[in-house]
Amino acid sequence: MTLLQDMTLSELTDFLTADFGVKPFVAKQVFHWLNKSVDFDGMTDVSKALRERLKENCVAVSATIVRTLVSKLDGTQKFLFRLYDGNVVEGVLMNYKYGNTLCVSCQVGCRMGCKFCASTLGGLVRNLSAGEILGQVAAVNALDGGKERYVTNIVLMGSGEPLDNFDNTVKFLRLVSDADGLNVSLRNISLSTCGIAPNVRKLADMGLPVNLTLSLHNPFNEQREEIMPVSRAYSVEEAIDACRYFFNKTGRRVIAEYTLIDGQNDSYAHALKLASLLRGLPAHVNVIALNPVKETGLKGTDEKTLKRFLQYLDKLGVSATRRRTMGQDIEGACGQLRRRYLEEHND
């Protein structure tokens, strides 16, 4: 099956002119519809004959919203996207003063095995293609009457590890920021990684000025290994060194994500070690309390301890803020909604 949203305008033009004998301007029309998440039947300025032929071999809309939950607390919307083969992934749309941020998924499931995360519970099912990641953005833009800039910011923080699906993620970044396409600035896109150090360096060498977020969660390797198996392959020091390399190559400040788990990573010793690790790196720490996932049995740090941890960091000269937890009433954390959906479908 050929996913048309996987292609740049010039790839689509080559494909349609060579295989379907159409004129380049027709390819441009098709491309325009693809970026608006419009299926073949809705491509009104494309001939019916071509649409019928395309339908036989190609997929136009690679992610379709099949369920939407709206948070009563903050208006955050959670989407379940269906892919052409029946797999589902999730996304979250958060409204801020400056615009709308969409959190997208890059894999069905995940193989990183982080102990607190719902996305990894059933392992990795498959990678998403670039067009399937783009399709999530296009589908959400289409909710607002096809306005191309409804989604202003994107975070790769849904299910999956972007740097474990490196080529598709990079192609997605190129597609979504393409002036002919959705034209979202790379500076408005955050890529979050659990710390696959060599791929952070590879990304840095490409010079793509995205915001890089490192899911740090524990500064001590022995403890980090227990909650994040990736740490056995790449130590926290290696991950941070790779982030430093990224900063040197792109000039983009790095964000460290720090999820507080009750009694596991919220002491003064953790704050002290974190501060020493980040010394010299222009980094900001986002602190968040764990969003409990029933299958994991882990608990988030209480309010008082969280505030105390932030004070420790402040005293140690570490730039840190608390990240608002959004959509807590709608299975807001990574992978939770898909779990629920699979349970309902007895999968």
Interface residues with ligand SAH (CB under 6 A) are: 114, 116-117, 157, 161, 192-194, 215, 257, 259, 288, 290-291, 293, 333-334
Q: Across the strands, what pairs with 107?
A: 127
| Separation CA 138–CA 145 (nearest Å) | 11
- Residues sharing a CB contact under 8 Å with residue 77, sequence separation 6 or more, in sequence order: 68, 69, 70, 71, 92, 93, 327
Inter-CA distances, 74 with 58, 77, 199, Å: 38, 9, 35
* Residue 60 vs 157, nearer CB to ligand SAH: 157
| Separation CA 120–CA 96 (nearest Å) | 28
> Is-contact 159 189, C-beta < 8 A?
no
Check if 90 is active-site.
Answer: yes
φ/ψ of residue 318, rounded to 5: -95, 130
* Residue 9 vs 154, nearer CB to ligand SAH: 154
Degrees, nearest 5: CA angle 167-168-171: 85
Check if 334 is active-site.
Answer: yes
| Separation CA 203–CA 324 (nearest Å) | 28
From the candidates 90, 161, 238, 331, which is the catalytic residue?
90
| Separation CA 306–CA 300 (nearest Å) | 9
* Residue 161 vs 266, nearer CB to ligand SAH: 161
Q: Shortest distance, CB of residue 161 to ligand SAH, whole angstroms?
A: 4
From the candidates 58, 103, 110, 334, which is the catalytic residue?
334
Catalytic residues: 90, 334
